[in-house]
């Protein structure tokens, strides 16, 4: 975000000029569209519901003050992005709309007052007339529409953009809560609508099974439900513990019910599950009491809810009130605040990641937060602990950010024990090697210097070593690596290529059969020849990723040349650092170190991080061990023609590419003479911006670096 945009974003809506409001309106619309796609299509939200609601509320406030900014493309005028998956499309007979939100008792009262004024205007409602509201828990799941013709279930679809959804009929037929044929007397045609969800206990059990099978696990029940329903193979969906609550309708011919509460009774008779906690409230006091009772019961419910939905009970009144943009005037969702709880901080643990980064984790007395038992929460880094000043023994406040990620908000001062001590971040890794911890200059991350000898890093590095962007060894997933490491079969990367010698021993292990062992051995043997760039990337050197590994491979060409140059650069740096201060000013750093620093995307910081890595003899021995077992293919230096369109240009790709893969786009850029990198800096010449672009596009704008769309890139790359 540019400095000017940051200034505008910090203004209240009342302070904005019309010109500022246009800029902020576009920024919010783009941000909301990106989060909509992440949530509805990819089932991987990046922000909490509360933060998302803040974006929409600010956008709505701008449009209320500057109504000329409202157009058909505004997020306030639609429900969600148009579905773009492999599923067929289904157009809803009646749109599936979203609901406006209330976040306080005052906003709820405002809704009730608007309903009353609307009915007084439409039907001359008496000032003291009762307005009954049908109240029900707001299930945190996936909205679905089920079409029944002559009582037979024919088509099931997701909400999609409200007008067009995805056809998931085959998957829905596997869910026991959804009847294939209605019972009793029913309309000839009806769209029954409701929520697909997953109960918490079933979600946790499913995640345990997924992890044991070394398959993808889900962050929360909502994501699990959405991901399970949108499987291309219905047999996979059938294995997932999905449930369904019915609560609404779309098209219905004929429609004999006159109230919402009457419709819920009919749903039960037809064979649907209806939430037993649904209740008819006849006064604002009853409505608020229901909301508070749901807040109390929320932790003990078997499923996640994030609020309460209120609907005017009488259908004829709903029809008179009508709709506004994307939401009905006769219904609203009353959201719960982020749930918090107090618990005791029993300890602060240190976890070590793949690159040696030390992450402090709060060890908590188990506490129920939003229906989930929380016993651990990340404290992120040493600076965050210092900011919070949390100490072992403190009573702390815990919140699940977005009702998903546990976080410690702070301690309760009045309940702090008399004898507590500030937490001192360890100076040595908690691994058996007890190697020193190094703090990155200007950063907050502290790392174990033990490298590949650190047992904590070994497991994470082995996971990375066999991953898709590195050696890509199928059949050797995270669970297998942990078990093999625990039992001494795997310690360093070279041990992966010694596993075929232990095939008989592996075959005797639980869960391994003759076929699975044969496949594993074949997968390993197929990777004994590997390009230099993938070899460098797989080693797991701090600050070296896939793109930088390619640049290093291009620079040094041969694996032996690369290793020799890294060792020379390390010795030269150490010799320079060992000079007296007076001599440093006149001394020159050696040629190998200077060459490394001048490689594109390396620089002094990365070169020094590499030096720390290569100073550890065990890291070098691990590389040499691999070298003895593998054939590392050299990389032919790319010769760029003088007339190449992108000669000496530094190009960055960000966002999703729709016409080609990211790798294909990078390869084409390199063919045109460009150097492709993963980060935006002052040296960047061009940023190609795909869909859902994030921070890289914003940084390019801040630095004034030219950008182009994917379509413009395709024309350039022809």
Residue with tokens 């039992």: 487
What is the side-by-side order of every strand in the sheet holding 142-149? 152-158, 142-149, 189-198, 242-253
Residue with tokens 């869960």: 511
Tokens of 667: 């390869």
- Residue 389 near residue 365 (C-beta atoms within 8 A): no
Residues 392 and 349: their CA atoms lie apart, in Å, by 11
**Residue among 138, 311, 675, 699 flagged as catalytic:** 138
Tokens of 282: 């006849």
Peptide linkage before 254 cis (omega within 30 of 0): yes
- Residue 404 near residue 48 (C-beta atoms within 8 A): yes
Residue closest to 356 by CA, chosen among 507, 231, 543, 116: 543
3-state SS of 388-441 is HCCCCCCEEEEEEECCCEEEEEEECHHHCCCCCCCCCCCCECCCCCCCEEEECC
3-state SS of 325-360 is CCEECCEEEEECCCCEEEEEEEEEEEEECCCCEEEE
Q: Which residues contact 408 (CB under 8 A, 6 or more apart)?
A: 345, 362, 377, 379, 388, 390, 396, 397, 398
- Residue 516 near residue 494 (C-beta atoms within 8 A): no
Residues 136 and 99: their CA atoms lie apart, in Å, by 14
Query: End-to-end distance of the chain based on CA atoms, in angstroms?
Result: 32
Q: Which residues contact 174 (CB under 8 A, 6 or more apart)?
A: 234, 237, 238, 242
Helix (H) / strand (E) containing 81:
none
Residues 183 and 166: their CA atoms lie apart, in Å, by 27
Tokens of 24: 């902020």
Tokens of 118: 């609307």
| Size of the chain in residues | 718
Q: Is the dihedral of CA 705, 709, 711, 714 positive or negative?
A: positive
Cα torsion at 653, 656, 658, 659 (round to 10°)? 20
Q: Is the dihedral of CA 589, 590, 591, 597 positive or negative?
A: negative
Please indicate whether residue 183 is annotated as part of the active site: no
CA of residue 585 relative to chain centroid, distance: 48
Catalytic residues: 138
């Amino acid at each position: 975000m540019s400095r000017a945009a940051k200034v505008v974003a910090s203004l209240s809506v009342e302070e904005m000029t019309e010109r500022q409001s246009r800029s902020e309106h576009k920024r919010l619309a783009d941000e909301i569209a990106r989060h909509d796609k992440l949530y509805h299509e990819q089932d991987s939200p990046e922000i909490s519901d509360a933060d998302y609601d803040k974006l929409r509320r600010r956008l709505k406030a701008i449009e209320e003050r500057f109504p000329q900014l409202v157009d058909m493309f505004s997020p306030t005028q639609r429900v969600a992005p148009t579905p773009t998956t492999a599923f067929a499309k289904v157009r809803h007979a009646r749109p599936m709309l979203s609901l406006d939100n209330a976040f306080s008792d005052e906003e709820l009262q405002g809704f009730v007052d608007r309903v009353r004024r609307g009915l007084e205007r439409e039907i001359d409602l008496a000032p003291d007339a009762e307005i009954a509201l049908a109240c029900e828990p707001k299930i945190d799941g996936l909205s679905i529409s089920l079409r029944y013709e002559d009582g037979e279930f024919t088509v099931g679809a997701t909400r999609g953009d409200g007008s067009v959804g995805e056809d998931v009929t085959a998957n829905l037929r596997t869910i026991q809560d959804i009847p294939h044929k209605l019972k009793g007397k029913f309309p000839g045609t009806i769209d029954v609508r409701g929520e697909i969800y997953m109960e918490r206990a079933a979600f946790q059990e499913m995640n345990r099974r997924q992890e044991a099978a070394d398959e993808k696990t889900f962050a929360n029940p909502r994501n699990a439900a959405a991901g399970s329903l949108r499987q291309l193979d219905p047999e996979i969906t059938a294995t997932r513990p999905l449930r369904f609550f019915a609560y609404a309708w779309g098209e219905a011919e004929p429609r004999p019910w006159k109230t919402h509460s009457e419709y819920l009774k009919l749903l039960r008779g037809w064979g649907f599950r209806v939430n037993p906690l649904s209740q008819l409230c006849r006064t604002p006091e009853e409505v608020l009491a229901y909301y508070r009772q749901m807040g109390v019961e929320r932790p003990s419910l078997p499923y996640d809810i994030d609020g309460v939905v209120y609907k005017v009970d009488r259908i004829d009144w709903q029809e008179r009130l009508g709709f506004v943009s994307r939401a009905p005037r006769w219904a609203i969702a009353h959201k719960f605040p982020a749930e918090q709880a107090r618990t005791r901080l029993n300890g602060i643990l240190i976890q070590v990641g793949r690159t040696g980064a030390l992450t402090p984790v709060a060890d908590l007395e188990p506490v129920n937060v939003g229906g989930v038992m929380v016993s651990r929460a990340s404290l992120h880094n040493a600076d965050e602990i210092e900011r919070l000043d949390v100490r072992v023994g403190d009573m702390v406040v815990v919140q699940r950010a977005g009702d998903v990620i546990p976080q410690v908000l702070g301690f309760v001062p009045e309940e702090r024990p008399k004898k507590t001590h500030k937490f001192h971040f360890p100076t040595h890794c908690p691994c058996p090697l007890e190697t020193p911890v190094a703090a990155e200059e200007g950063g907050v991350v502290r790392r174990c210097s033990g490298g590949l000898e650190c047992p904590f890093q070994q497991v994470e590095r082995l996971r990375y070593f066999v991953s898709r962007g590195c050696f890509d060894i199928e059949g050797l997933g995270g669970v297998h690596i942990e078990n093999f490491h625990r039992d001494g079969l795997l310690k360093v990367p070279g041990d992966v290529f010694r596993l075929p010698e232990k095939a008989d021993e592996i075959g005797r292990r639980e869960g391994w059969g003759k076929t699975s062992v044969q496949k594993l051995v074949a997968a390993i043997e197929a990777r004994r020849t590997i390009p230099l760039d993938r070899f460098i990337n797989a080693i797991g050197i701090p600050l070296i990723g896939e793109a930088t590994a390619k640049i290093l491979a291009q620079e040094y060409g041969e694996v032996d040349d690369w290793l020799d140059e890294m060792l020379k650069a390390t010795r030269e740096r150490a010799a320079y650092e060992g000079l007296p201060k007076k001599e440093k000013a006149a001394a020159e750093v050696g040629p190998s170190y200077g060459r490394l620093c001048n490689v594109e995307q390396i620089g002094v910081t990365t070169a020094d991080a590499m030096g720390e890595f290569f100073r550890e003899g065990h890291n070098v021995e691990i590389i040499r061990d691999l070298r003895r077992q593998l054939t590392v293919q050299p990389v032919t230096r790319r010769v760029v023609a003088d007339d190449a369109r992108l000669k000496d240009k530094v190009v960055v790709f960000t966002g999703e590419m729709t016409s080609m893969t990211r790798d294909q786009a990078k390869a084409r850029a390199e063919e045109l003479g460009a150097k492709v990198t993963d980060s935006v800096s002052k040296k960047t010449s061009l940023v190609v911006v795909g869909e859902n672009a994030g921070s890289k596009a914003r940084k390019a704008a801040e630095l004034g670096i030219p950008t182009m769309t994917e379509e413009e890139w395709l024309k350039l790359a022809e």
